[in-house]
């Protein structure tokens, strides 16, 4: 019995030993797996670190997320360890206390792992974890998750994407994490968006989130970033310009490295741009680095000189009539004020006027009788300041030339460079041997110079020297490479020997600068008699200079021609006309010298009609009313946001209109926003956006005269006068009870018009009704009126003078004023409403048939296909179109593009066919008009049609600047240009604009947020139109016209006969 029990016990012990051994093996295997998992996890982390790079910034959000990420992994490991330990502690016999290394005692006392070993192993693993954590904290970048409550959406999304990349955020968690960090308005938008997607049952993933986010917070799609980048110019520091350039660069696509490089360099300040171009960088980054280095070096190299300190706190002195004949007490007239860059910045900082030195503000006017010239020079190379010296004798101080090398300080004034004489320069004739030369004594030039053309004429030869730059006051540099030593000059009996540096001059042979002036010492100049007195040895010498030519105004077109011919424009003369500051300035008189004597006498008799109105027009029976569909609902549109400089301009124009009595302060519940649109001359046009008011207005259907009906009245006339009313709409008052409806609101006030403003939908009808009433007794007898264009016509000169006298008397009687500069008096032929009227009849302006007749020969298949697309659209109006066009269509075949005589003949014949009356209809003014427009990268095109039958074409090529505009802006340009050209057909009638730009469909209701919208919308105010979208492939004609090559401006009105 006892032996049987021992046998059973032995079996139990063996079974337990076997189980313990197997369990130990399992645990060993599991621990090996756990160790391998740790090793693999650490290896993955290291690889991720190498991909992301080392970052030093630590962030709480990143740390928490990393801990969560690592915590989820370590938690699983910890759970596994607890499970393994639990087996050791709970599932094993409690009597096990021994270690495997101890001598075997009893099977019951053996265990695979002892407590000491397990503790040791746990300590080693914890040390490994601490080392791993320390390694992760050092190598793993920890980044704050960015918040967004407004600002740059692209910058925020870029930082968010970096965070996601660093911390390997799963795609499904990105929206949740990003939306959690939206604040304020952005958070309210997010709640709305989340509910919207939930209601519609749509999935809101990360891509959808980014799209919605940029739609809400990104820039308007109408903003032309390409155009902004192309037009970006450096205005301040180089690094600010680089920041702006890089920001715009991230918003555009498709620009090559060469295009970006060229745009960047051209946008730098002129002197810096020229320096960079000389370095010829091949990469944009290199050019940016060069620009920053040069700008920094230029800044640090500047040193205040004795001359610059003399000017530091001085202001330009006003020019006054001289009482003394010499310069011993008064500065010369029209002296050039030399401002270095530090002084210029000081004037800007203190807000001083560059002309008079007084405080400058919007609307500032210098006091009468003051005129100044500002000569800006670089501080590191300031010119001699003797021109503005106030010393009693105008003495030229001598300087130690040894302290300044020619290469560092060589300078030539713009006057010397161009040969233009100023009061502080002396121009005279001199002799070199037997050759007469023109010479300029100029204290604004550091050295003596000679023109290479004069050098060749005289026969002298220059000696090559180490090239150095000669700096011009404008900031540019010219390179001097040679010198002529010991040149002997004879100037009014005085013999001079001087070294002359060879430099390209204009209209001048020799310049004697400070290098010679310092050698003679004291100089006394008399700018009234244009003499200079100095000593040579002990003998006094007196030179008499040529008197400067009288300065006269130059017409802009003449200046343009001179510049094209190589002339330099180097001076701007500002004429300050008399009159009290702030008072009404005298208007420029009209040049009537080319008018017949009897016309001049007639205009003098009606001088009042030519004046600028200075008071409100009288109240008349045709004052303008505004009748609304619902009088109980006031129209109010809040003002737009304006740039700071625009606010000042708005305030100035409002104040001016208040002084003229055109507007008054308002308390009306109505208000519309205002727009500022820049004119061609750089000034601003003040406009009111009445789109909302027009939409609520009952339209006036006053009959507008048709062009063909009016021109029919001209039969037999031989003499014509065209009169244009001055600011026509403002010559009509508003009805008193409707004044409050014209109210507009700016950033600083609320005002209303007393006169009829521009932009009201019924204003053309009111104006036409007023003209018809004023000229009622004479209409279609010797006067016709189309809005503010008045045409007087007669059969003889005597009759015309009588008729013109009657018209001017009527205008004077009814207090209307004309603008003489836009009038044409007693002409035998003139342009009126797009037609040429003469004694021979009425014909289409010859310039307006060139769009088709001068269509250039297509250079490739694409251009030919465009031409055939245009003509084919109207093929049903062209007899035998297929036969005529067959040689051209054959050219579209593979390898068939070749201009044979037959093909050229077909091309010309097809152009002629397109201008025949079988194709082109005459306008029917009882039917609505359609304007088809399109724009491409090359140009704009449009077609005027009725019932899809063409009346006229226009085509206009775009210059480089407009090519850089956005598609939206180019499409708007096409619309505005077409409406402007066909104004006589469209004004006063509702018409349809057909475009392939979908964004234009909402033009009548969209908020004005860009300068392009402001500029173009204002030109459409007063017209009634609907905008219809038509895909580009269906708008073939306008599309072909917009892609037409050749002539830069091609307008075509395709009526081939006079009016019916």
| pLDDT digits 0-9 by tens, 262-290 | 888 888 988 888 888 877 888 888 888 88
Distance CA 915, CA 1056 (A): 7
Find tokens 């190598």 and name the residue. Answer: 139
Closest CA to 686 of 607, 762, 746, 770: 746
Under the banding of pLDDT at 50, 70 and 90, the label for residue 293 is confident
| 757/732 Cα distance (integer angstroms) | 9
Rounded Cα gap, residues 796 and 779, in angstroms:
18
Per-residue pLDDT band for 925 (boundaries 50, 70, 90) equals low
Query: Domain 225-301, what architecture?
Result: Orthogonal Bundle (1.10)
pLDDT at 391: 32
Please, are residues 517 and 443 in contact by the beta-carbon 8 Å criterion?
yes
| pLDDT category of residue 841 using cuts at 50, 70 and 90 | confident
pLDDT higher at 503 or 113: 503
In sequence order, which residues have a C-beta less than 8 Å from that of residue 716 and are 6 or more positions away?
A: 795
Q: Is 254 exposed, middle or buried (0-12, 13-18, 19+ CB in 10 A)?
A: exposed
- Would you give the distance in Å from CA 59 to the centre of its chain? 41
Pairing of strands 930-935, 841-844: unpaired
Which residues 6+ apart lie within 8 Å of 68 measured at CB?
none
Q: Is the pTM of this model over 0.75?
A: no
CA-nearest of 958, 971, 981 to 1053 is 981
**How does DSSP assign 240-269, residue by residue?**
HHHHHHHHHHTT--S--HHHHHHHHHHHS-
848-1053 shares the fold of 620-788: no
CA 350 – CA 704 distance, rounded (Å): 57
Question: Which pLDDT tens digit goes with each residue over 48-58?
Answer: 666 665 444 44
Interatomic CA distance for residues 834 and 791, integer angstroms: 13
The residue length of the chain stands at 1060
**How many CB atoms are closer than 10 A to CB 662?**
19
**């791993």: which residue's tokens?**
132
**How much is the pLDDT for 587?**
39
Strand order from edge to edge, sheet including 531-536: 523-526, 531-536, 539-544
Is it the case that residue 638 has pLDDT exceeding 60?
Answer: yes
Cα 460 to Cα 38, 438, 450, 622, distances in angstroms? 90, 16, 11, 81
3-state helix vs strand vs coil in the chain, percent to 5: 45, 20, 40
d(CA 832, CA 1059): 13
User: Comparing C-alpha atoms, which of 82, 80, 70, 116 is closest to residue 96?
Assistant: 116
Give pLDDT, residue 427.
83
As a whole number of Å, the CA-based R_g of the chain is: 43
How far apart (Å, rounded) are the C-alpha atoms in residues 1014 and 1006? Answer: 11
- pLDDT above 70 (res 738): yes
What DSSP string describes 13-56? Answer: HHHHHHHHHHHHHHHHHHHHHHHHHHHHHHHHHHHHHHHH----
d(CA 968, CA 960) in angstroms, rounded, equals 17
Question: For residue 329, is pLDDT > 70?
Answer: no
Longest dimension (CA), the chain: 162
What CA–CA distance (Å, rounded) separates 491 from 1025?
A: 75
User: What span, in angstroms and rounded, lies between the C-alpha atoms of 738 and 668?
Assistant: 11
Per-residue pLDDT of 871-893, as tens digits, reads 775 565 566 677 788 888 888 88
More confident residue, 74 or 46: 46
- SS3 string, 271-286, reads HHHHHHHHHCCCCHHH
pLDDT tens-digit readout, 205-237: 888 888 888 888 876 655 666 777 877 889 888
- Report the percent of the chain where pLDDT is more than 90: 8
Coil, strand, or helix at residue 212?
helix
Kindly report the CATH class assigned to 306-544.
Answer: mainly beta
327 pLDDT band, cuts 50/70/90, is very low
**Using alpha carbons only, what angle is made at residue 72 by residues 67 and 76, rounded to the nearest 5 degrees?**
140
381: confidence class by pLDDT, cuts 50, 70, 90: very low
* Averaged pLDDT, 289-293: 84
CB neighbourhood size of 786 (10 A): 20
569: Cα within 13 Å, side-chain hemisphere: 13
Residue 585 in tokens:
């300035």
SS3 annotation, 728-779: HHHHCEECHHHHHHHCEECCCCEEEECECCCCCCCHHHHHHHHHHHHCCCCE
Confidence of residue 806 (pLDDT cuts 50, 70, 90): very high
φ, ψ of residue 262 in degrees (nearest 5): -65, -40
* Over residues 137-152, mean pLDDT: 74
pLDDT tens digits along 441-492 = 887 788 889 988 888 888 888 888 888 777 765 556 777 889 999 899 988 8
> What superfamily in CATH does domain 620-788 come from?
HIV Type 1 Reverse Transcriptase, subunit A, domain 1 (3.10.10.10)
pLDDT, tens only, 8-24: 667 677 777 666 667 77
- Fold classification of 848-1053 is Nucleotidyltransferase; domain 5 (3.30.420)
CA gap 57, 141 in Å, rounded: 6
- Select, from the ranges 774-778, 852-856, 857-861, the one with the highest average predicted confidence (pLDDT): 774-778
Least confident segment among 233-247, 335-349, 645-659: 335-349
CA distance to 391, 552, 569, per residue, from 422 (Å): 20, 15, 14
Torsion sign over Cα 296, 299, 303, 307: positive
**How wide is the angle at C-alpha 625 spanned by C-alphas 622 and 631, nearest 5°?**
160
Q: Where are the domains of the chain?
A: 10-139, 153-217, 225-301, 306-544, 620-788, 848-1053
Whether 643 contacts 655, CB under 8 Å: no
Alpha-carbon distance 70 to 72, whole Å? Answer: 5
pLDDT at 796: 92
Q: Tokens for 955, please give them.
A: 């085509």
State how far the Cα of 171 lies from the Cα of 149, in Å rounded to an integer: 23
pLDDT at residue 154 in the model: 81
């Amino acid at each position: 019995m006892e032996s049987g029990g021992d046998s059973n016990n032995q079996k139990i012990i063996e079974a337990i030993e076997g189980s313990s051994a197997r369990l130990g093996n399992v645990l060993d295997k599991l621990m090996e797996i756990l160790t391998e998992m740790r090793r693999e996890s650490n290896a993955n982390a290291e690889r991720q670190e190498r991909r992301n790079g080392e970052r030093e910034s630590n962030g709480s959000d990143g740390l928490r997320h990393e801990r969560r990420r690592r915590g989820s992994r370590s938690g699983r490991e910890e759970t596994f360890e607890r499970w393994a330990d639990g087996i050791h502690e709970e599932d094993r016999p409690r009597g096990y206390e021994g270690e495997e290394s101890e001598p075997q005692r009893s099977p019951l006392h053996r265990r695979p792992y002892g407590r000491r070993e397990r503790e040791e192993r746990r300590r080693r693993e914890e040390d490994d974890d601490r080392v791993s954590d320390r390694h992760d904290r050092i190598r793993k970048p920890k980044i704050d998750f960015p918040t967004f409550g407004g600002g740059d959406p692209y910058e925020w999304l870029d930082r968010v994407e970096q965070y996601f990349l660093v911390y390997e955020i799963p795609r499904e968690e990105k929206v949740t994490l990003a939306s959690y960090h939206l604040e304020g308005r952005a958070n309210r938008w997010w709640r709305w968006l989340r509910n919207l997607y939930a209601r519609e049952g749509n999935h809101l993933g990360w891509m959808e989130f980014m799209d919605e986010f940029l739609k809400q917070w990104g820039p308007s799609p109408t903003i032309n970033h390409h155009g902004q980048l192309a037009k970006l110019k450096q205005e301040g520091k180089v690094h600010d310009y680089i920041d702006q350039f890089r920001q715009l660069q991230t918003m555009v696509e498709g620009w090559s490295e060469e295009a970006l490089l060229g745009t960047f360099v051209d946008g730098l300040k002129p002197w810096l741009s020229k320096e960079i171009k000389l370095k010829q960088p091949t990469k944009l980054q290199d050019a940016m680095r060069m620009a920053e280095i040069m700008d920094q070096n230029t800044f640090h190299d500047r040193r205040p000189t004795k001359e610059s300190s003399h000017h530091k706190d001085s202001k330009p002195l006003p020019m006054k009539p001289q009482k003394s004949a010499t310069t011993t007490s008064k500065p010369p007239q029209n002296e050039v004020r030399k401002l270095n860059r530090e002084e210029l910045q000081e004037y800007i900082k203190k807000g001083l006027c560059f002309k008079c030195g007084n405080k400058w503000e919007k609307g500032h006017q210098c006091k009468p009788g003051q005129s100044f010239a500002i000569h800006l020079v670089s501080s590191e190379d300031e010119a001699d300041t003797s021109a503005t010296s106030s010393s009693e004798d105008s003495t030229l101080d001598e300087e130690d030339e040894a302290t300044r090398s020619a290469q560092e300080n060589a300078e030539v004034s713009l006057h010397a460079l161009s040969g233009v004489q100023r009061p502080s320069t002396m121009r005279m004739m001199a002799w070199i041997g037997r050759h007469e030369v023109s010479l300029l004594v100029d204290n604004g030039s550091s050295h003596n110079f000679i023109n290479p053309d004069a050098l060749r004429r005289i026969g002298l030869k220059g000696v090559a020297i180490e090239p150095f730059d000669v700096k011009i006051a404008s900031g540019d540099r010219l390179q001097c490479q040679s010198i002529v030593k010991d040149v002997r000059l004879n100037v009014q009996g005085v013999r001079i020997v001087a070294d002359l540096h060879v430099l390209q001059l204009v209209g001048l042979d020799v310049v004697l600068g400070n290098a010679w002036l310092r050698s003679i010492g004291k100089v006394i100049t008399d700018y009234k008699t244009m003499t200079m007195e100095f000593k040579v040895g002990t003998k006094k010498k007196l030179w008499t200079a040529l008197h400067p030519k009288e300065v006269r105004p130059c017409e802009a077109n003449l200046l343009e021609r001179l510049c094209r011919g190589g002339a330099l424009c180097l001076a701007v003369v500002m004429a300050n006309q008399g009159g009290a500051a702030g008072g009404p300035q005298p208007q420029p008189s009209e040049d009537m010298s080319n008018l017949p004597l009897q016309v001049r006498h007639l205009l003098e008799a009606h001088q009042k009609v030519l004046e600028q109105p200075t008071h409100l027009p009288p109240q008349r029976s045709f004052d303008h009313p505004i009748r609304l569909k619902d009088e109980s609902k006031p129209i109010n549109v809040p003002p737009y946001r304006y740039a700071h400089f625009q606010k000042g301009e708005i305030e100035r124009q409002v104040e001016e209109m208040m002084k003229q009595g055109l507007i008054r302060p308002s308390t009306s519940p109505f208000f519309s926003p205002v727009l500022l649109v820049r004119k061609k001359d750089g000034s601003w046009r003040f406009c009111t956006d009445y789109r909302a008011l027009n939409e609520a207005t009952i339209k006036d259907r006053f009959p507008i005269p048709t062009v063909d009906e009016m021109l029919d009245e001209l039969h037999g006339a031989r003499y014509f006068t065209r009169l244009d009313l001055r600011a026509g709409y403002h010559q009509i008052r508003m009805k008193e009870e409707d004044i409050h409806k014209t109210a507009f609101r700016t950033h600083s006030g609320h005002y209303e018009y007393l006169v009829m403003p521009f932009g009201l939908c019924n204003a053309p009808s009111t104006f036409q009704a007023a003209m018809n009433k004023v000229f009622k007794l004479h209409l279609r007898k010797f006067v016709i009126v189309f809005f503010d264009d008045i045409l007087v016509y007669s059969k003889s000169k005597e009759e015309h003078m009588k008729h013109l006298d009657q018209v001017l008397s009527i205008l004077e009687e009814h207090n209307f004023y004309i603008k003489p500069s836009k009038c044409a008096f007693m002409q035998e032929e003139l342009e009126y409403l797009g037609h040429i009227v003469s004694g021979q009849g009425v014909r289409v302006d010859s310039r307006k048939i060139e769009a088709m007749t001068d269509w250039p020969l297509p250079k490739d298949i694409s251009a030919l296909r465009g031409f055939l697309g245009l003509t084919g659209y109207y093929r049903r109006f062209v007899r035998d179109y297929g036969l005529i066009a067959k040689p051209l269509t054959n050219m579209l075949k593979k390898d068939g593009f070749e201009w044979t005589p037959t093909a050229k003949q077909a091309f010309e014949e097809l152009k002629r066919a397109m201008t025949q009356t079988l194709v082109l209809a005459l306008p029917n003014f009882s039917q609505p008009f359609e304007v088809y427009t399109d724009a491409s990268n090359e140009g704009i095109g449009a077609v005027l049609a009725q019932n899809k039958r063409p009346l006229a074409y226009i085509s206009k090529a775009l210059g480089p600047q407009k090519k850089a505009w956005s598609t939206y802006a180019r499409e708007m340009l096409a619309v505005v240009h077409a409406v402007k050209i066909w104004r006589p057909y469209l004004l006063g009638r509702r018409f349809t604009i057909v475009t392939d730009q979908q964004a234009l469909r909402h033009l009548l209701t969209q908020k004005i947020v860009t300068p392009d919208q402001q500029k173009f919308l204002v030109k459409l105010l007063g017209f009634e139109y609907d905008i219809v979208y038509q895909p580009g492939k269906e708008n073939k004609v306008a599309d072909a016209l917009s892609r037409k090559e050749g002539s830069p401006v091609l307008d075509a009105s395709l009526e081939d006969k006079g009016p019916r």
